[in-house]
Amino acid sequence: MGKLRLVLGDQLSPDISSLRDASKKDDVILIAEVMEEATYVPHHKKKIAFLFAAMRHFAQELKSAGYTVRYAALDDPLNQGSLRAETARALEDHPSLTQVIATKPGEWRLLQDMELWADILPVPVDLREDTRFIVPLKAFNAWAEGRKQLRMEYFYRDVRRQTGLLMDGDQPEGGQWNYDSENRKRLPKSMTTPQRFLPKPDALTQDVIALVAERFPDNFGDLDPWVFATTRAGAEEARDHFLSEILPGFGDWQDAMARGEPWMWHSLLSVYINCGLLDPLDVCRRAEAEWKAGRAPLNAVEGFIRQIIGWREYVRGIYWLKMPAYAELNTLNAHRPLPDFYWTGETDMRCMAEAIGQTRRHAYAHHIQRLMITGNFALLAGLSPAQVNEWYLLVYADAYEWVELPNTHGMALHADGGLMASKPYAASGNYISRMSDYCESCSYDVKQRTGAKACPFNFLYWDFIDRHQERFKNNPRMAMICKSLDRMQPSERAAIRAEAEKFLDGLRLKTL
């Protein structure tokens, strides 16, 4: 007797656990575009279009391999609008199927629903672990048990040892685990960024783009220009282009930012890895091979691999270890609504306008823009973690809650009280000036703390330190800056507080 095998939109891997023992003769594979998943937050138009197009291509891939695929398109008049309802409809249409098999989803809210299916559907439900990750959740939980601090660096070293990536016996290649000190260079004015692999949409993808334009006209973001591959072959071509043409410069310039340069030396591969078109460990081994062949330096390859086997695996572990209470933490008591410019990009702060503008156009910004521009502003301004988390989840094509929430909640907003980061990633305009050319064309003066032309990041930074000084003064990594605040004249501190209050009270707000 056959089984119904459900594949979710971010599980587009032929070796996903739900397909592990699939029968081409007896089983039916269900892939469904459903309004419930497209609208639980109002996702970026390009994110929806990318996933639907990738899902349709994956269905074709499975059909070509000989599987029976049931595909529920969003505009199918019989589409029931939810994964549970589409699963039930498939079982009604195929009464010989005796079981539902699915891989566990990557988001808490959906897992909670799917765990109820066994009591609702007429057949047993088998929810399998997602084996595409390098570290099983049980292994992460075992690593975390009994630790007072869950620091990524130590987790990363264990994964390096486990995988053997960039290892010389039990020691790291080159004698160092981490080459971040070499990876913080500002982009020289004379340097040009590399050409990118940005595929044109095929006919199937163009149909999906038209569908999304019709069904989601008011959602955030632009559909044009198109920037993502939607097939496995296209994702592999993007991977190979990055490894051969761009990876060598990734280390030096991974923290740099520049006007009109959305891609820099970043891989743009997270969108493909997170939906299943690329295997993360395979990508890392290919990057390691570039170093072994002498085509990419160690600092670039180590930094790139750390993003995948370190941060990516770590934030997933944190998410499943701490949810659902993790999402409710608000240690810094931040409640200010999201300013309107997070949606429009219309602000005199050049750095924010650049980061949000490219997010609107491409559903993409690299990790420093997310952490040290939009995230840093949200931290300093005391924006509501719930609203900020939702914004990050909906605007980026690679964002799923398991990866977005810890990065935003823990790293950018410090809302978890330091579970992930030993200090808040707060920075004044000086950091932005050092790592970008944004300040050169800004309406504000990055050298001024107060006054009509003062950079908002400056007075917001010192106001943030002032508001939270009692919390951070005993933190070894914050003690010096807290002492600097104490050395300020009372009149200057008062002027900073007044400047911050005036600026924040003047922000035009918009809520979802």
CATH, residue 82: 3.40.50.620
Domain co-membership, 310 together with 407 = no
| CATH number, position 487 | 1.10.579.10
DSSP code at position 440? G
- The answer to whether position 333 is within a domain reads no
Domain co-membership, 154 together with 276 = yes
Residues 6 or more apart whose CB falls under 8 angstroms from that of 304 comprise: 247, 250, 251, 267, 287
- The answer to whether position 214 is within a domain reads no
Domain co-membership, 71 together with 197 = no
What end-to-end distance do the CA atoms of the chain give, in Å? 47
Q: Cα torsion for 51, 89, 101, 57, to the nearest 10°?
A: -30
Residue 147 φ/ψ, nearest 5 degrees: -85, 135
Domain co-membership, 197 together with 280 = yes
Burial class (CB in 10 A: 0-12, 13-18, 19+), 418: middle
Domain co-membership, 164 together with 309 = yes
- The answer to whether position 267 is within a domain reads yes
Residues 6 or more apart whose CB falls under 8 angstroms from that of 168 comprise: none
Domain co-membership, 313 together with 451 = no
Give residue 192's pLDDT: 86
Q: What is the 3-state secondary structure (H, E, C) of 93-127?
A: HCCCCCCEEEECCCCHHHHHHHCCHHHHCCCCEEE
Domain co-membership, 313 together with 430 = no
Give residue 188's pLDDT: 82
- The answer to whether position 52 is within a domain reads yes
- The answer to whether position 353 is within a domain reads yes
Long-range contacts of 466-471 (CB under 8 A, 24+ apart): 466/493, 466/496, 466/497, 467/382, 468/332, 471/332
Return the half-sphere exposure (C-beta side, CA atoms, 13 A cut-off) of residue 210: 8
| CATH number, position 309 | 1.25.40.80
Q: Of 73, 95, 128, which residue is a domain's last?
A: 128
Q: Any bridge partners for residue 80, and if so which?
A: none
Q: Cα torsion for 390, 392, 394, 397, to the nearest 10°?
A: -160
CA distance 430 to 153: 26
Domain co-membership, 427 together with 446 = yes
User: Nearest to residue 100, comparing CAs of 108, 109, 91, 92?
Assistant: 91
Q: Of 295, 322, 349, which residue is a domain's last?
A: 322
- The answer to whether position 304 is within a domain reads yes
Query: Are the C-beta atoms of 52 and 74 separated by less than 8 Å?
Result: yes
- The answer to whether position 331 is within a domain reads no
Buried b (16+ CB within 10 A) or exposed e, 452-471: eebbbbbbbbbbbbbebeeb
CA distance 125 to 101: 6
Tell me which H or E stretch contains 48. Answer: helix 45-64
Is residue 6 classed as helix, strand or coil in its secondary structure? Answer: strand
Query: Are the C-beta atoms of 57 and 193 separated by less than 8 Å?
Result: no
Residue at token pair 């997270």 = 270
- The count of structural domains within the chain is 3
Q: Of 291, 322, 353, which residue is a domain's last?
A: 322
Query: Following DSSP, what letter does each residue of 366-434 receive, concatenated?
Result: -HHIIIIIIHHHHHHHTB-HHHHHHHHHHH-TT--HHHHHIIIIIIIS-TTSSSS-SS-----HHHHHH
User: Nearest to residue 428, comparing CAs of 382, 463, 452?
Assistant: 463
Cα dist. 13→76, 283, 287, 328, 492 in Å?
Answer: 24, 14, 20, 32, 58
Domain co-membership, 373 together with 318 = no
Give residue 8's pLDDT: 98
Residues 6 or more apart whose CB falls under 8 angstroms from that of 459 comprise: 449, 450, 496, 499, 500, 503
Domain co-membership, 347 together with 315 = no
Give residue 107's pLDDT: 96
- The answer to whether position 329 is within a domain reads no
CA distance 329 to 378: 16
Tell me which H or E stretch contains 435. Answer: helix 429-435
Give residue 512's pLDDT: 43
User: Nearest to residue 425, comparing CAs of 439, 405, 409?
Assistant: 409
Containing structural domain, residue 401: 341-505
Residues of the chain with pLDDT under 50: 511-512
Residue at token pair 């107060």 = 450
Give residue 504's pLDDT: 96
DSSP code at position 188? P
Query: Are the C-beta atoms of 419 and 369 separated by less than 8 Å?
Result: no
Give residue 195's pLDDT: 87
Domain co-membership, 104 together with 147 = no
Give residue 149's pLDDT: 86
Domain co-membership, 67 together with 114 = yes
Q: Any bridge partners for residue 426, and if so which?
A: none
Query: Are the C-beta atoms of 221 and 391 separated by less than 8 Å?
Result: no
